């Protein structure tokens, strides 16, 4: 059984509909999904026999895998008197509140985000290297993309994929086929997307988000992938 604290799977990477589809696909593979499950402890004497939940239930188990994220170890920075929240606070120059000390990577907190991935660290390193070499450069945050298979189900998301004021949404859904493709547009540009079930074209969409190019001419073809879009634009 998969126990998840909040009311949808992968809440940081998927919108509600994509998460519901993923939960259905996982359930269809024989893995029960229990959402809103706050665990309070393990039950068992010599070995684990179950996971106790806040509502009083005990889910029987003989093996428990815990995946609850990471937290930066910022003790050294804290002890040195640097400003630390979840991570070591840095500005767009990757400078801490002591302007002779910089922080990048998983220990750094920039504009409220602590990234737990390699790519943002590389981007930060690039900016800091430029600055240390006397060139002007600023880090404005990283565009995060998720591209993976969850229990064999393709899942991709990138950018601002939740509908918000000033956005339009293009969706292709085929619930029975376990397919969901959602595109959020802002001012004629692709702001974010979610793909569940079939992630073909993910890098094409990521490129559109990154470039910020006008996609008005291909918006109706977006769900059908790169070849459709490029053929139409040609």
Candidates 11, 49, 106, 162; binder of ligand FAD (CB under 6 A) is 106
Among the residue ranges 87-95, 99-107, 176-184, 220-228, the one whose residues contact ligand FAD (CB under 6 A): 99-107
User: What stretches of the chain show up as alpha helix (H) in DSSP?
Assistant: 16-28, 75-79, 118-132, 202-211, 226-233
Question: Which range binds ligand FAD by CB under 6 A, 3-11, 47-55, 111-119, 191-199?
Answer: 111-119
By CB under 6 A, residue 121 contacts ligand FAD? yes
Q: What is the DSSP secondary structure assignment for residue 8, as one 8-state letter?
A: S
DSSP 87: S
Phi-psi region of 94 (alpha: psi -120 to 50; beta: other; left: phi over 0): left
Choice from 44, 50, 116, 178 touching ligand FAD (CB under 6 A): 116
Cβ atoms within 10 Å of 8's Cβ, excluding its own: 17
| Closest distance to ligand FAD from the beta carbon of 142 (Å) | 11
Binder of ligand FAD out of 31, 118, 171, 231 (CB under 6 A): 118
Q: What is the CA radius of gyration of the chain?
A: 21
Alpha-carbon span 158 to 38, nearest angstrom: 28
Does 123 sit near ligand FAD (CB under 6 A)?
Answer: no
| Alpha-carbon span 204 to 164, nearest angstrom | 23
How far apart are CB 123 and ligand FAD at their closest, in Å? 12
Taking CB under 6 A as the rule, does residue 150 contact ligand FAD? no
Residue from 18, 87, 105, 223 that binds ligand FAD (CB under 6 A)?
105
- Residues lying near ligand FAD in the complex (CB under 6 A) are found at 76, 105-107, 116-119, 121
């Amino acid at each position: 059984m998969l126990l998840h604290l909040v009311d949808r799977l992968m809440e940081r990477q998927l919108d509600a509909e994509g998460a519901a589809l993923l939960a259905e696909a996982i359930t269809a593979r024989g893995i029960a999904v229990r959402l809103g499950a706050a665990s309070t402890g393990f039950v068992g004497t010599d070995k684990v026999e179950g996971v106790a939940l806040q509502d009083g239930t005990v889910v029987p188990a003989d093996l428990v895998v815990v995946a609850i994220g990471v937290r930066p170890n910022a003790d050294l920075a804290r002890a040195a008197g640097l400003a630390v929240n979840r991570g070591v606070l840095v500005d767009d120059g990757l400078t801490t509140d002591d302007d002779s000390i910089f922080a990048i990577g998983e220990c750094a907190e920039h504009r409220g985000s602590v990234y737990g991935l390699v790519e943002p660290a590389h981007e930060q390193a690039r900016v800091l290297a430029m600055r240390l070499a006397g060139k002007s450069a600023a880090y404005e945050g990283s565009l995060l993309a998720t591209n993976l298979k969850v229990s064999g189900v393709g899942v991709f998301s990138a950018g601002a994929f939740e509908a918000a004021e000033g956005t339009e949404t293009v969706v292709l859904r085929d619930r029975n086929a376990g397919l969901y493709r959602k595109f959020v547009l802002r001012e004629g540009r692709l702001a974010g997307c979610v793909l569940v079930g079939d992630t073909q074209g993910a890098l094409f969409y990521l490129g559109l988000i990154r470039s910020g190019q006008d996609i008005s001419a291909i918006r109706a073809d977006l769900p059908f992938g790169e070849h459709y879009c490029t053929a139409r634009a040609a």
